[in-house]
Structure 1
Amino acid sequence: FVGTPDYLAPEVLLGTGHGPTVDWWALGVCLYEMIVGYPPFNAGSPQEIFSNILNFEIDWDDLCDVASDDAANLISRLLIEDPSERLGANGADEVKSHVFFEGVDWEVLLTNKAAITPLFIPSLSSSVDTNYFDDERKGSFGGMTFMEGASPNMAVDDFTDFKNFSFVSIHHLGEMNKDAVEEKKGKKQGEGIKKTIPEAVAEKVKAVEGKDTQQRFEEGGGRMGPEESKQFLLEMSKEELDEQTPDRDEPSSNFLRQTLQLSLEKSQE
């Protein structure tokens, strides 16, 4: 698969087949990030991000504390794990008709953007006016600025130091945004909203050869609950990967294998 880790839909990671609804999932992630300040499945490495996506580990309290009810509802419906139930599965019209977009004239927006009055127009003194940004920068290097504690000489291939950002001068941004949100509202503990994954177990079984696999599914009567389905599907994906890429030193397959293993461990907790 190809894509930025934070925005990938679960069906892409599981390899169960995907379509246009992955874009609606990505829109939900973008909206969450725009409102809260960081992506819903954010973590320090791609493996952890993928694990959060597969286990649907998302803090809905963070969103509900800063978003309107309509915005929270829109995002929760875009981030439904089952692509057939996801908002937008029946076309863009059902997204555009959501109450969050009430009052938006989509036809005018498409044909004459100048006729739409923005809700907020920044007042700028020049093209480089930064009055709308907090003055948090502590130093400079070669005409560029960086946060206190950041080193301009850090190796860019040390991914874990960058928290999903590709340039050292902003590698603190993800953590800072999260800290700022938590400091403002006070961290609340909660389970959040859980939704189920697609019932794609039967199809996955057919795609994986092996008597043990088929037998295990049949012994369960062909029926599993949401959590059992998720664990079973993860196990099948890992077994299929092991069969297709036995070379454990191959970087891409090893990376995916580690992600699936991490997700399996979390699903069993």
Structure 2
Amino acid sequence: MTAARSSCALGAKVGGSGTTGGGDGDDGEGSARAARDQSGERRLVHLNLGVLESVATVGTGTFGRVVLVQDRKTKSYFALKSMKIVDLIRLKQQQHVHNEKEVLMEVNHPFIVKLYWTWHDERCLFMLMEFIPGGELFSYLRSRGRFTNDMGLFFSSEIVCALEYLHSKNIVYRDLKPENILLDRHGHVKLTDFGFSKKLVDRTCTLCGTPEYLAPEIIQGKGHGLAVDWWALGVLIFEMLSGYPPFFDDNPFGIYQKVLSAKLNIPHQLDFYVKDLIRKLLVVDKTKRLGNLKGGAEDVKKHKWFQSIDWDIVPQRKLKPIIVPEVAHDGDSSNFEVYPEEKRRKEPAVSQQDLEIFKNF
């Protein structure tokens, strides 16, 4: 099992224990109350940061931190992602942040993490999301070495449904990997970290993602679309069942060369049908890649590896999970790695010109 990979843009940060300060400048009253708008999607009708108390840091990244927080009034738990504006601008991640908000505001699916609220002050951007207590799929894969065929089949089925949903809205995910797949307390998947996702109007040419999971057309920079997610699914299935990705090297350029050659050495012990599926997903020519053919996601779902799956019940979360996380309560963070708390220090406020970039956040 390889060490955790880093993407071009990682998750976010919020620092320190105690209360996450400030908010919208009031006395800290209010609470995080979920409501449903006319589209049926859950949204917060009112919130300020003063009602949220930090419990534990559950993720860190290049320019931010994710903290498990609890609403002081309702006692509900959330994941608060905060990103330092000065670092976002320095690393040229403005558009990725806007894309993430735009996509998460639009989607509503059982296998995709929910976004409830966004806000910014003069220093940071904030995104409040549902907290998924089961931890990363990566952690379970690392501890087991590799998954059984049945485990891989279960996780792949739920992920296929999530990708099919995103693609139906012309949204490309672009960061499928075990680190971005969370398990809820019952063992069902939740895709998270949509910083690289994008609503497609035409092809896009941005080089982003994790080297081991990049499709050939991303590396070539000739423009790419929804097909890159089906390539990543092939990489994910390979890694889940073998314990390592199909293309790896000590440096990214070595990985890119192997991806473009697409020479596969699939472990002989894998199921016959899954080996066939992997070969049909990891096709360099995207016009011949399963999932990107005329039948779209249906072609993937009809593959013989999935022949035991009743696709009607998958999005209803009626498939029986094989791994059920140990979760003591809704705010249990024990399934995540322990991160040191960030020393509380007040970042310098950004200029009004820089703040204007995020005025609609």
Q: TM-score range by the shorter chain?
A: 0.3 to 0.5
TM-score when scaled to structure 1?
A: 0.42
In terms of fraction of residues, the more strand-rich structure is 2
Higher relative contact order (CA 8 A, sep 6+): 1
TM-score when scaled to structure 2?
A: 0.32
In terms of fraction of residues, the more helix-rich structure is 1
